[in-house]
Amino acid sequence: MDKKRNGTRPLYQSTIMTIPGWNGMKTLYRLPFCPVLSSFYFSIISPAVQSFFRTRTEARSVDIEAIKLKSTLERAAMADKTVILATVNDAWMAPGSVVDLFLESFWTGEHTSGLLKHMAIVALDEKAYVKCRLKHVHCYALKTQGVDFSAEKRFMTEDYLKMMWTRIKFLGSVVDLGYSFIFTDADVIWFRDPIPFFATRNSDFHTACDHFFGNPDDTYNTANGAFMYVRSNNRTRLFYKYWYESRKLRPDMHDQDILNLIKTESYRYTIGLSWKMLPTTNFGGICEPSKDFEQVYIMHANCCTGLENKVNDMRIIMEDWRMYRALPAGLKSNHTSKWRIPQRC
């Protein structure tokens, strides 16, 4: 062992560096320590070692997140591997805000409360995930490096576009794992269980519409990605990859506008994707409210910007639905009242 000279630190001193080997065994490296040469050693060795550990750590992190996602989907899925998915951020999780109304609608709807056990809420930031754990049984934290999705994202801002494309990439990963899903934005009010509706229609991809022109195959219908039913198969796997990659060619457009472009492109027909647009009579929105309380499944707070405006009109939708539900059974079929929305949207 080196001896101290005049009470000062020795000029040379051994130091040990432990690096995991490729076979999982640890390798010990004994390096001389010298204050004069330390900057030289670590200017040469440290970057390589840091890169090694960073790569291993990132790969391990990806594996862990994949395991967490698969576990969440397994716990929430129905017997046929169908799961309901909703994405939220902290702004939408505030008390009395969008998510509270969204969850409440499942308890006031017809045969919808049982669907909650099959819904996984995907939190886009850590604050939303913590709040989700207090409100719902199945929560998943979708982590995006270097982006804070917690605040309200105004339509078509840079962070809004990043958030939307993060969602598309995530949904593609769910399809890749073999799970079919009903995707719903949290600003959607649920009135009835839509699964029997989808069971009678053998299509790969179903989307709600802002405007519907009477034919579910009409490409002039304006698709809205806030509510979708997607069956997991090779066609939908390929389509989600194509949808996500299309953002590179049109960086100034959001996912929904690109969806409305690629619905007419040849690629959809090349892979054989069957696509149906959902009629607004059953799957309405503030853009085009359903006219029949007897047939409506959901109502989306679309064509509406600003969180406060959404919450205001969503509350009115809930009040109108409660008034309808309170009617005697014999009067419901003759119910002629209209939705009182839009008001602030």
Specify whether 18 is located in the same domain as 111: no
Specify whether 196 is located in the same domain as 266: yes
pLDDT value at residue 145? 63
SS3 label, residue 146: coil
Specify whether 102 is located in the same domain as 53: no
Specify whether 49 is located in the same domain as 181: no
192: its two tokens: 């009835």
CATH number at residue 263: 3.90.550.10
Specify whether 51 is located in the same domain as 172: no
- Residue 318 falls within a domain, yes or no? yes
List, in sequence order, the alpha helices (H) in 291-335.
307-325, 329-332
Specify whether 44 is located in the same domain as 148: no
pLDDT value at residue 158? 64
Specify whether 50 is located in the same domain as 81: no
What distance lies between CA 182 and its chain's CA centroid?
11
pLDDT value at residue 64? 84
SS3 label, residue 254: coil
- Residue 186 falls within a domain, yes or no? yes
- Residue 71 falls within a domain, yes or no? no
Phi-psi region of 212 (alpha: psi -120 to 50; beta: other; left: phi over 0): beta
- Residue 86 falls within a domain, yes or no? yes
Parts of the chain with a pLDDT under 50: 1-5, 8-33, 36-38, 40-42, 44, 49, 51-59, 151-153, 156
Pair 235, 272: CB distance under 8 Å: yes
Task: Give the total number of structural domains in the chain.
Answer: 2
Specify whether 198 is located in the same domain as 54: no
Residues in the chain, overall count: 345
Task: Report how far residue 300's alpha carbon sits from residue 208's, in angstroms, rounded to the nearest whole number.
Answer: 9
pLDDT value at residue 250? 86
Specify whether 42 is located in the same domain as 93: no
- pTM for this prediction: 0.80
- Residue 344 falls within a domain, yes or no? no
Specify whether 283 is located in the same domain as 323: yes
Specify whether 95 is located in the same domain as 228: yes
Pair 188, 299: CB distance under 8 Å: yes
Task: Report how far residue 289's alpha carbon sits from residue 274's, in angstroms, rounded to the nearest whole number.
Answer: 26
pLDDT value at residue 337? 75
- Residue 307 falls within a domain, yes or no? yes
Pair 225, 254: CB distance under 8 Å: no
Of 278, 204, 226, 209, residue with least CA distance to 86: 226
Helix, strand, coil % in the chain, rounded to nearest 5: 40, 20, 40
Place of tokens 């309170």: 326
Structural domain boundaries enclosing 286 = 77-332
- Element (DSSP H or E) covering residue 136: none
- Residue 31 falls within a domain, yes or no? yes
Specify whether 175 is located in the same domain as 206: yes
**125-137 pLDDT tens trace:** 999 999 999 999 9
Pair 254, 313: CB distance under 8 Å: no
SS3 label, residue 263: coil
Backbone angles phi, psi at 62, to 5 degrees: -60, -45
- Residue 315 falls within a domain, yes or no? yes
